[in-house]
């Protein structure tokens, strides 16, 4: 048998072995991505107005999600930046959050 034929046989054997073997993980990794929305970047004057999290499986497919709107000091936001538009004006998909 030639060297080339031996290589092809070895590669075929390894491919068959890899195709049959499916590794089992002792646990399924879970990832959580956290997002915040703020009124600005100044930690002294600006506030967090929304928190959100998305849980993903080992293949980064979303499994679950959560979000909540927080009530900022609206007077401080209005005084520094003017009254913000309702969220539905920025993101029509949100359906009426304001």
The model's pTM is: 0.46
* pLDDT score of 86: 60
Tracing tokens 């060297």 back to the chain, one arrives at 3
Whether residue 26 is predicted with pLDDT greater than 70 in this model: the reply is no
The closest of 29, 49, 44 to 90, measured between CA atoms, is 49
* pLDDT score of 69: 86
Whether residue 68 is predicted with pLDDT greater than 80 in this model: the reply is yes
Domain boundaries, the chain: 26-84
Percent of the chain clearing pLDDT 90 (strictly above): 0
Whether residue 62 is predicted with pLDDT greater than 60 in this model: the reply is yes
What CATH code would you report for 26-84?
A: 3.30.420.10
């Amino acid at each position: 048998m030639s060297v080339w034929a031996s290589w092809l046989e070895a590669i075929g054997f390894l491919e068959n072995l890899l195709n049959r073997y499916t590794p089992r993980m002792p646990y399924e990794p879970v990832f959580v991505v956290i997002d915040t929305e703020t009124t600005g970047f100044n930690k002294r004057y600006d506030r967090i107005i929304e928190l959100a999290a998305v849980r993903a499986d080992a293949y980064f497919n979303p499994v679950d999600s959560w979000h909540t709107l927080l009530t900022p000091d609206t007077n401080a936001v209005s005084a520094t930046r003017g009254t913000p538009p309702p969220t539905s004006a920025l993101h029509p998909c949100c359906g009426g959050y304001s």
